Chain A
Amino acid sequence: MDLSKLTISKARKALDAKEYSALELTNAYLTAIAEKNPEIHAYLEVWEDSAREEAKVADAMIARGESQPLTGIPIAVKDNILIEGRTASAGSKILENYKATYDATVVTKLKNQGAVFLGRTNMDEFAMGGSTENSAFGPTRNPHDTSRVPGGSSGGSVAAVAANLALAALGSDTGGSIRQPAGFCGVVGFKPTYGKVSRFGLMAMGSSLDQIGPVTKTVEDARIMLEAIAGYDAKDSTSLADSATRSGTSLEKVIGVPREYLREGIDADVLQSFEATLARLRAQGYEIRDIKLPSLTYSLAVYYIIMPAESSTNLARFDGVRYGLSVPAATIQEVYTKTRGEGFGPEVRRRILVGTFVLSSGYVDAYYRKARAVREIIRADFARAFSAGGGSSLGGESVDAIALPTSPVPPWKFAEKAVPLAMYAADIFTVPVNLAGVPAISVPSGAVVREGKDLPVGFQIIGAHGNEETLFTIGKDVERGF
């Protein structure tokens, strides 16, 4: 079987038709991993034995005629999603030896379908970063050019799918951590509506921003994965009622483009590629409409206040007492400071300190509360773009979706963005989506050339709250053009 051509849909048909068994499929991936993972470093740990056992169970399900969409499908899981009894380190020294005590809801759902878990994938420590260079266990390499980063923070999950070391993977997206690496590695990355997928068992980073989502090779596969993991969960108080999903909304085929936001900070050929994809959509009958999202300019600044504020709060739980690393010291105060000082890497420490500052007495109003207020303006801007505008003084743009490049630049070389702000700037097109809580997808859309190598470019489509369906429709139309 040719893994490079394989998708979930194709594997499903082949497994159900008994062309090959789930065990054979899993073995094919394990062989590919043994061969290529030492170079790519997508996986931090591979679970060969249990994967084979799970594949056998899947084969039995298929033999009984109980096959479900993901039965026997080999997938990879980001290292910040819990699987009971398995190490989950979030790419951090502080959790290097931590074993999860329960299954994340998404994992339970995948287990129930008989999916096969190949291993856990590398990531920027606690999902903080856009290159996977912040992993405490060494970076992942981009399969398209191993001298370049795969993007991040879900770099391992994305590289695994792109290098055919998994048929699909789970990632998490707080400010672009699924979409940006998917764009960098030429695969599909999906960030669902905030609350669409339960986060029970996902290590919290920015709680008002985090979402689990799929990394796949095709838009159809992303839909299959999303259907498997989505749904209300009583264990996640932010999870949405299933009725919040819009279905059957008619598509007017209008895509809005906030061109004022594309004027600077974007590589010329990346912009060219974006325009070329828009042109292809126009040829398929879409209207491409210029829209205004005036507050978008502030999203990066708002994000880099809210995210560190929430992260520093969430990471307060790592104190060397209940789990993870504990550095012995004379007093409890020193146990805290030494454990956190040794356990957290430089970027995590930096964000904890920024978060502590913006929440500190005297500055919380000017930074954190102000950022929350500006966030609401950003959210309102998005809502207005999608609304028909009846009764609104500003008028709605009534677009079906908004298009933006996934990243302003192609994947960069290792250590190229050593200055924190340089790395943060690459998140410019993805963070507004998390601030607004809306869904978005990154679909492969051609390539740009750097030093003689083709580097993938992602095309990002952003949908209205609860309307993932439109993204799948438009995403498939983008796919069709390539």
Chain B
Amino acid sequence: MADKIDPVRSSPPPRPSGRASAGATSNGVDVRALAQLARLEVSDEELAKLEREIPDILKFVETIQNVSVETEISSPELRNVMRADENPHEGGMYTEALMKAAPSRVGNRIAVKQVLTRKNTKSEARNPKKYEI
């Protein structure tokens, strides 16, 4: 799966919370692998440009490695706020409004290409329709 791709070519992962080596992280960024992770089609021409720009950006932001952070600082301003799971709205109230925004629908369902595929099954060969799940 794409998720296992290491976005940095042939360099060992830096130690957790340790100082990342500027050379290793800035020179070998595999933009194509990042694009795959981000589900983003990027042309070869743009890829060449990004392979120059992204290491420059990362090199700049790496200056934070010079800050010593001794203890884990809590973030009281950033916290999850949960609400009680109660008072639901009437079922179907917003369905039509939300469905209208979908690029492709079948009845009250959003239609997508088949997500899971089985290899070489006869049924699939007979029935190539993959628009619904």
Seen from chain A, the residues whose Cβ lies within 8 Å of a Cβ on chain B are 98-99, 101-102, 194, 208, 234, 237-238, 295, 298, 300-302, 304-305, 312, 316, 319-326, 329-333, 335-338, 340-342, 344, 346, 349-350, 352-358, 360-363, 365-367, 369-374, 376-377, 379-380, 419-421, 424, 437
Contacts and interface: CB of A to CB of B under 8 A. Distances in A.
A245 B19 CA distance: 40
Given A301-B63, A373-B73, 11 more contacts: A340-B39, A349-B42, A353-B31, A357-B7, A363-B7, A365-B18, A366-B19, A369-B17, A420-B56, A421-B57, A424-B60
23 contacts: A237-B83, A298-B63, A298-B67, A301-B60, A301-B64, A319-B39, A326-B104, A330-B113, A332-B114, A335-B112, A342-B41, A349-B40, A353-B35, A353-B54, A358-B61, A360-B7, A360-B34, A365-B14, A366-B18, A376-B74, A419-B53, A420-B56, A424-B60
Contact of B101 (A101, A329, A349, A424): A101
B75 interface: yes
A362 B6 contact: yes
B3 to A, nearest CB: 9
A130 B98 CA distance: 32
Contacts of B60: 300-301, 304, 421, 424
A356 B38 contact: yes
A194 B76 CA distance: 13
Contacts of A346: 46
Interface string B3-33: 0001110000110111110000100010100
Contacts of B114: 332
Given A323-B101, A323-B103, A344 B83 contact: no
10 residue pairs, one from A and one from B, having the closest CB atoms: A341-B41, A362-B13, A326-B103, A237-B81, A323-B101, A376-B73, A332-B113, A366-B20, A336-B39, A373-B69
Contacts of B103: 320-321, 323-326
A57 to B, nearest CB: 23
Contacts of A369: 17
B39 A337 contact: yes
Nearest to A367: B61
A368 to B, nearest CB: 10
Interface of B: 6-8, 13-14, 16-20, 25, 29, 31, 34-35, 37-42, 46, 50, 53-54, 56-58, 60-67, 69, 72-75, 77-78, 80-81, 83, 94, 97-98, 100-104, 110, 112-115
A363 B5 CA distance: 13
B57 A420 contact: yes
Contact of A298 (B13, B57, B64, B102): B64
Contacts of B57: 304, 350, 354, 420-421, 424
Chain A residues touching B, majority SS = helix
B39 A333 contact: yes
Contacts of A356: 7, 34, 37-38
Contacts of A376: 73-75
A350 B51 CA distance: 10
B76 to A, nearest CB: 9
B40 to A, nearest CB: 5
Contacts of A363: 7-8, 13-14, 20, 25
A14 to B, nearest CB: 39
A342 B40 CA distance: 9
A341 B40 contact: yes
A427 to B, nearest CB: 12
A298 B66 CA distance: 9
B72 A373 contact: yes
Given A301-B63, A377-B67, A437 B39 contact: no
Contact of A371 (B38, B64, B98, B101): B64
